[in-house]
Each structure stands twice: as structure tokens, then as C-alpha cells.
Amino acid sequence: MLSACANQNIRQSKENSVFLSVNVVFDLLSPKTFGRTINLVQVAQLETPEGNFELLFYLEISNELLTVVGVLPNGTRVFSVIYDGENIKSEGYKQVVNSLKPEYLLADLQLSLWPIEALRSKWLNSLECYKKGLCELFISPNGLERHLIDNEQVIITVNYDKKLPDVGKFDFKHHQRNYAILLETIEKN
């Protein structure tokens, strides 16, 4: 169901490290670290320096794969991104794929949806700034906000309308990249 975009730009990458800020290099987590399998349909409003987009996202997370397919409201497939824990395969319209930067989209989704314990565990073992206390992934006491802080500066903010990130709405903002994505789950299986 969520595999390919025909007649479009195809890109494969082993690059699964994403520079979130000067001190924070985020290594994508394996899909199995999510801890369960879900299928979501989400309304996505993206704001990028290259323009604004409104799409439907079909998001599938299993132990083996993290798959995101972006579709226009009329049903036209715009892109797909598949991550198996080692490789990223992206297909779609070149302008959209280049604007979204597949590895960043995956990182944004992981920072927003993954259990905070999985993120912190990975960072504790791999990020020098996290070990030294210079960067932090903070979650508010009510569980409705996440902040990535680097040298006392907020880099990323995620706000949720409900405690479970895969239900309802969440707003992801990367302040340095001038990028935002608002996702609202409209179907969950």
C-alpha cells in the first residue's frame, strides 16, 4: 500500500544522521525502538522556506520499517520515504523531496512520536553534549510539550493537544530551520 511513487525522482541514502543544531547530531533510531506497530492517516500542514504544503500523510511504523507517504488532497502521491533502520529510500517530486529532506522528516517524526525514554537512551549513549548536560530533550510535566535545548537555546518545540502523540494534533517547530509541521491524526489502525 505505501511503497512507491511512479515516474518520479528516486533517492537512496545510508545517511541517517541529522544535524539538528550545532551540537546536536541526531542518529535516527531503528523503527523497532518505537515499540509497537501503528498505521496513521494524518492531515499535514508544512511550512518550509521553500513554501507551504498541505498533504495527507500515511504513516506506518513496524519493527522493520518506518514509512511515510505524502498525498495531495486529490489523491495524487507526492512522495514516499521508507527507512529500515539503516537505509533511507525516498521517491517523489524532486521539489517536494528536496524541500522536505527525507532524513529530517524522519527525525522530526521520531522526535515527536517516539517514546521519550527511547530518545533519551539513545542520546545518553551517543551525544557528547547530552552527556555533558549542554543539550537536553525536555518533556513538560503534563506531557504536552517537548523541547530540544542546545546551550540554553530552544531549537525544537513540539506541542500536543493530547498526551498520546499519535492521537489528535501536534505542532513541530524547528526554530533554526524556519520549518514547521502541524499534524492531525484522522485515522488510526
The Cα–Cα gap between 90 and 106 comes to 11
Q: What is the pTM of this model?
A: 0.89
Q: How far apart are CA 68 and CA 35, in angstroms?
A: 18
Q: What is the pLDDT of residue 7?
A: 40
Predicted local distance difference test score (pLDDT) of residue 147: 95
What is the identity of the amino acid at 109?
L
CATH numbers and ranges of domains, the chain = 9-188 (2.50.20)
For 115, the 3-state DSSP assignment is coil
Please report, for residues 17, 37, 56, 83, 144, the alpha-carbon distance to residue 171 in angstroms, rounded to integers and kept in the order given.
23, 22, 15, 23, 11
Q: Which three cell numbers stand for residue 103?
A: 532524513
Q: What is the pLDDT along the chain (189 residues), one digit of tens a residue?
A: 344 434 455 555 557 889 898 888 889 999 999 999 999 999 999 898 878 889 999 999 999 999 999 999 899 999 999 999 999 999 998 877 777 789 999 999 999 999 988 998 887 777 778 878 888 888 999 989 999 999 899 999 999 998 877 778 999 999 999 999 999 999 888
Least Cα distance to 110 among 187, 165, 46 occurs for: 165
Q: Which three cell numbers stand for residue 88?
A: 533511507
Distance between CA atoms of residues 31 and 65, nearest Å: 6
